[in-house]
Structure 1
Amino acid sequence: MAFGGSYAEMSAPICLINNMPDGKMVVCKEAMQILDQITQPVVVVAVVGLYRTGKSYLMNRLAGKQTGFALGSTIESKTKGIWMWCVPHPQKKDHTLVLLDTEGLGDVEKGDEKHDIWIFCMAVLLSSTLVYNSLGTIDNTALEKLHYVAELTEHIKVKSNSQNGKETYNTSTEFMRVFPSFVWAVRDFTLQLELNGKPITADEYLENALKLKPGDSLNDIRNKTRSSLRDFFAVRKCFVFERPASPKKMKDMEMLTDADLEKDFVEQANIFCSYIYSSSKPKTMRGGLGVTGRMLATLAQTYVDTISSGQIPSLDSAVESLARIQNTRAVTEAVDFYRSEMTKKVKFPTKTQQELSDIHAEIEKDSISIFIRSSFNDVEQKYQKELQTQLEHEYGELVKQNKEESRKLSRSAISRVFGPLEEEVKEGIYMRPGGYSDFCIAQEAAVQQYKQEEGLGLMSEEVLAAYLSEKSDIGRSILAADSSLTEAEQKIQDEKIQKDALEQQNKCLEEEKKIQEQLILDQQKSHEEHVEQLKNKMEEERTRNREEIQRTLEAHYKEQIQSMKEGLEERSRFMQMQIDRLQQEKCNSNNVPCLIL
């Protein structure tokens, strides 16, 4: 199963996080291996809620399948831990939709409230959209059952060094920036959506239910849940669903087609799925840092390890850990790709340096792209600089190898082509009157034969020049022994030998100069490619960061207005303080220079 640009869809869900007999959570290796293959951005939709409320059915619907996540038809909770199903995103190209079905909260047989809150926290930390599934209506009882939201500050920290529940004043804003959008799915809803005799939308129904109750203490669990939902989740959405079928039919939900279900329920389910597909954002960390499948796997492992050690997950620590692991791996994979592809595509020796340079530029571009896609929060481009250094070294070694292979083949060709001439010289054939002219003709014929040899590479002229220079004394000896030439003619021929040698040397120097100029040009192009891809990634992250800030700002504006309507002046002032700081950060983010390698 290869996840990435194209992959085989999972045929069924598998367990992502399992519950051990001792109560600890463990990330399942098979799920990690699957996520590890997903280099695409992921849209993560998690469903939470009380057990036996039909959570799994919604997940199967989102997967576009009739069956998959266990539905069950008894009072027993079927889902244990957190189960995962990865499918190609129906609407977002080159994205993977990761569906997480969580263990039902409040299972009387389990009776472990602490475990429930950690399951809830993991769903919040891993998802980009959190679906809360409940039955009946959104009333005080329903809000009491959702008390996990009010406890998030006790189980999740922004900073690793902050105390439980005693973080900075803007903790709620920090949570809102990284927490998923919140969707409340109300099942078996039988009421009319009306308020004061006027029809309202499901969203208005939710927001009305989240108004703080003046008669209750702000520390009352219901009010704490209301304020937490308003403080932590910038985007809130509500869907109400009628009962899908008769109780008798619902025992066999996995066997029912849309034709067997109530028409209104099918329509409501389709609208729900359409919203999730179109509105759920790719998973990001604070600052617009995008998350891929393999990064999600690292996050899951990091959070579970932290919880298992008795500590509280920290958003900042997760980012640091993810960056360290992911960036180290990104460098390794990019360099390995470069080595592998250069080995496949380069046939040593190349005819020219340009030929090697062109292959290098193409593969280096892809290598940088692999790193850029996989890197995460590479502060000051520390890891990208390391990649640049390693690729320069790899390329430098290939340049050396290319030259050595060329020299090796050229020397072999020299021995083969000039061998007969050397034998004739040893036999003294040319040590006679007129011998020098015949030697020159034979040597030129050997030179031309050598130059017609195929595949000698870019150092063939250098090797030839070195050989001719080495054998120049032989020519002079033959010239001196040629009694048919006058002293003046011998002098002219000797000058010609020197001139030819100088021309050959200059030709070699010119070739070497071209090679060095090409290598300098390669280095410049390499730097430009690193910078260009880095700028594109940083701009994408800045765009997501600005969207994150704007989304939070809009939520605070809305909350400030609502607080004023409810007469909560202190809360309204608090919102204004948060708005001012976000506005300043937004202004600063527009002026942040792009760090260049």
Structure 2
Amino acid sequence: MQERAEELPPSLPSQSGAGQGGAAELYLLVLLLLVSFPSVLGAAMEEPLCLVQNGADGVLSPNPEALEVLRGIGQPVVVVAIAGPYRTGKSFLMNQLARRRPGFALGHTVQAQTKGIWMWCLPHPRRANTTLVLLDTEGLGDPNKGDSRNDTWIFTLALLLSSTLVYNSSGTINQQALENLGYRGIGAGTMVSALSRWHHGDGATAPHRVVTVLTERVQVRVGDSRDEAAADFVRFFPGFVWAVRDFALELSQDGRRITEDEYLENALRLQPGSSRVVQEQNELRCCLRDFFPERKCFVLPPPADVEAMTRLEELDEGQLRPGFLRQADAFCRHVWDKAPVKALPGGQKVTGSMLASLAERYVAAIASSGVLCLESAVMALATAENTAAVAAAVAEYKQRMERELKLPTASQEALGDVHRRCERRALALFMARVFADKEQRYQGQLMHELEAAKEEFCRRNEAASAERCRAVLRELWQDVEQRLDRGEYAVPGGSRRFQERLRELMEEYRQRPGKGVKAAAALEEFLREREVLVRALCAADQQLSERERERVASDTVVAAAATAASKEAEEAAQARQVEQQRSFEEHRRQLEERLRHEQRVMLEEQERVIEHKLQEQRALLQEDFQSKAEALQEQIKKLQKEKEEIKKPSWRQKALDGLRTAAEICLTGLVCYGVPLLLRRFRHI
């Protein structure tokens, strides 16, 4: 029991330990947990919640409350779903995974307890910053259900939403158990229809019968052939665990002990023979082997005596059978350690909010057309997620700029330094979240919005600088005004003394720190406003000849200030041009980094699929099914060709060309300094 207590998620402190330490220690413990595990605590649910409701009319609908819980989870999710015949102990096994009681509702009669799909979100006990989402599904084959057709959809939703699917059955893995999985899991009505069409010669060949069922209800892409669908299903399907409950046999074959996994693989071996019955049985085995390349099996004896089975929820672990506890512990450890984060094809990790969108879109597709198109759902998810990624990145940029930028900055370069740091962080945030942005549309949108946000900070910086400069000039001018009021410059030679005082004022102004990027422009504006005064003093100075008046009036300090302001503006324009060039290069660098990562992930995924097909081909040859092995060779050739295309440099170059186009559209749409030169350099790159 001590070992089990240590395995509990850190958000569940022991009550006995808290009591010993008193209120102060408990307070400190809670405070420490809040500081150390804020995201984990935020993802926890006190009890399961219905995710997909199964109405009395058999219509499935998402539960808004459950969707809202998922949308609040920004962490990657490991999604473990359980399915199988009703009244086989699915909920009890999921409660073992959760290590909490009470949990998913248990029943003690022949009446099915779970309706629809129920969800429980918990901190992952093995991985930081990851949420474990448990999905308990309505039992398949309930005779009291008025319409069993939605058994297919409940199973399909569990299949497509999970990263690991647990199929729970009782007794043994025999032909009946396989048929329950194939016929109930994939859909009895549609299966019979497909088999009927095949037997009546509609052109569907034997390898397509179970595939036909799935492709009628689930499409990878609109318009895909069945062969293409069969090859691609494996990219969307989860890992598979078969939990055989109430197992009472000895794991041995031909006089030797076998493992649980060997027991499953032996059950999936193709049977010799050419009769219709054997072909149907083999087809089901082929589909299970093809769709679930990662398979695992656990056999669990009954958890308690028969009389205690009606009150399992009340039993302590000490009252459960040791054999069951050992196997349940092995099952839980496997799921905790091996069940992967839910990911989309291409390796994009799914967060709780993304899972909510997928669930909502899948259920909506079922209700509207009765056909699920996976690519359409993923692209719709990508649109929403990428739009949110742009908004989040821009918000991150603005928040960091507000924190780090002290206005006014000493120079445009100083603002550019802060901009680069904030942009780099915002872009990294975007890159970690964006996916399926093939034309770099969303990165172009981000580039546009970040440039616009930077320009707004530049305007604010200039306004703050101008205000600061005007305040300094007003302060320095007070002395000159007092002298003017006393008439010190309305005397012979006063014009020269006024000009000298202005030069002194300019020098004092230049020495003042913190004026910012508009120092010269503000000074020029200030002096131009007083140019009339200079000319009036020159005209009234009786010591000056007419020629001297003209020369002094034209040779004022305003001209020098104008030159300085012009130089200041030119330097600022050059600095912004450099900033834009660096900004583009940062976008390009991070995009290339993301593309290299995506390419690696896609190649690894492609290699896994190819290796799975090769293993299946070798198994078919060993089982003496030459024709099936040859048919699989066409899929392998196609996959290998796709792999070679992914390896080509042109795969990345196309995306970089998309970024170039997006940048040209984005930057020409902004009134920024140095855009023409930047675009010329961009095209050169």
TM-score by length of 2: 0.79
Query: Which of 281, 288, 291 is 2:350 aligned to?
Result: 291
Query: Which of 616, 622, 630 is 1:559 aligned to?
Result: 616
Instruction: Quote the offset at 1:204 in angstroms.
Output: 0.9
1:538 equivalent in alignment to 2:599: no
Residue 83 of structure 2 corresponds to 48
CA distance in 2, matches of 1:529, 1:67: 52
Query: Which of 432, 440, 443 is 2:502 aligned to?
Result: 443
CA distance in 1, matches of 2:77, 2:594: 17
- 2:534–2:553 CA contact under 8 A, matched in 1: no
CA distance in 2, matches of 1:7, 1:514: 50
Query: Which of 417, 423, 430 is 1:364 aligned to?
Result: 423
Letter in 1 for 2:590: Q
Residue 180 of structure 1 corresponds to 238
CA distance in 2, matches of 1:480, 1:487: 9
Residue 321 of structure 1 corresponds to 380
CA distance in 1, matches of 2:426, 2:550: 59
Change (3 A) 1:250 1:24: same
Instruction: Write out per-residue CA displacement over residues 468-516 of structure 1, whole angstroms, 9 at most, x where no aligned residue.
Output: 2443453355356555679999899778x55x54543343333323322
Instruction: Write out per-residue CA displacement over residues 431-463 of structure 1, whole angstroms, 9 at most, x where no aligned residue.
Output: 213424543454355445655667543213311
Residue 331 of structure 1 corresponds to 390
Instruction: Write out per-residue CA displacement over residues 392-442 of structure 1, whole angstroms, 9 at most, x where no aligned residue.
Output: 122112212321333244335434542552464366431213424543454
- 1:39–1:373 CA contact under 8 A, matched in 2: no
Residue 129 of structure 1 corresponds to 164
- 1:44–1:99 CA contact under 8 A, matched in 2: yes
Letter in 2 for 1:171: A
Change (3 A) 1:38 1:542: farther
Residue 277 of structure 1 corresponds to 336
1:30 equivalent in alignment to 2:65: yes
CA distance in 1, matches of 2:393, 2:178: 49
Higher relative contact order (CA 8 A, sep 6+): 1
1:205 equivalent in alignment to 2:276: no
1:114 equivalent in alignment to 2:114: no
Change (3 A) 1:509 1:46: same
1:385 equivalent in alignment to 2:444: yes
Aligned residue runs from structure 1 range 62-461, under 5 A: 62-146=97-181, 147=183, 148-149=185-186, 150=210, 151-162=213-224, 167-215=225-273, 217=276, 222-343=281-402, 345-419=404-478, 421-422=480-481, 424-425=483-484, 428-436=487-495, 438-440=497-499, 442-444=501-503, 446-447=505-506, 450=509, 456-461=515-520
Match of 2:136, SS?
Answer: strand
Letter in 2 for 1:401: R
- 1:177–1:549 CA contact under 8 A, matched in 2: no
Query: Which of 565, 574, 583 is 1:517 aligned to?
Result: 574
TM-score by length of 1: 0.90
Query: Which of 605, 628, 636 is 1:548 aligned to?
Result: 605
Instruction: Quote the offset at 1:239 in angstroms.
Output: 1.0
CA distance in 2, matches of 1:101, 1:374: 29
Letter in 2 for 1:160: V
- 1:462–1:508 CA contact under 8 A, matched in 2: yes
Identity of aligned pairs, percent? 40
Instruction: Quote the offset at 1:209 in angstroms.
Output: 0.5
Structure 1: which 5+ residue stretches go unaligned?
none
Structure in which a larger fraction of residues adopt helix: 2
CA distance in 2, matches of 1:175, 1:130: 15
Instruction: Write out per-residue CA displacement over residues 48-82 of structure 1, whole angstroms, 9 at most, x where no aligned residue.
Output: 11112111222222223233212222222221111
CA distance in 1, matches of 2:121, 2:97: 11
Structure 2: which 5+ residue stretches go unaligned?
1-33, 187-209, 660-685
CA distance in 1, matches of 2:585, 2:382: 24
Letter in 2 for 1:369: A
CA distance in 1, matches of 2:267, 2:498: 106
Residue 537 of structure 2 corresponds to 478
Match of 2:517, SS?
Answer: coil
Residue 508 of structure 1 corresponds to 565
Instruction: Quote the offset at 1:342 in angstroms.
Output: 3.8
CA distance in 2, matches of 1:457, 1:35: 47
Q: How many positions carry a matched residue from both structures?
A: 591
CA RMSD of aligned residues (A): 2.9
Change (3 A) 1:531 1:267: farther
Match of 2:169, SS?
Answer: strand
CA distance in 2, matches of 1:505, 1:154: 76
Letter in 2 for 1:152: L
CA distance in 1, matches of 2:581, 2:75: 30
CA distance in 2, matches of 1:449, 1:427: 22
Match of 1:144, SS?
Answer: helix
CA distance in 2, matches of 1:154, 1:487: 100
CA distance in 1, matches of 2:51, 2:504: 74
Instruction: Write out per-residue CA displacement over residues 68-121 of structure 1, whole angstroms, 9 at most, x where no aligned residue.
Output: 212222222221111112223333333322211111111122143211110000
Change (3 A) 1:524 1:248: farther
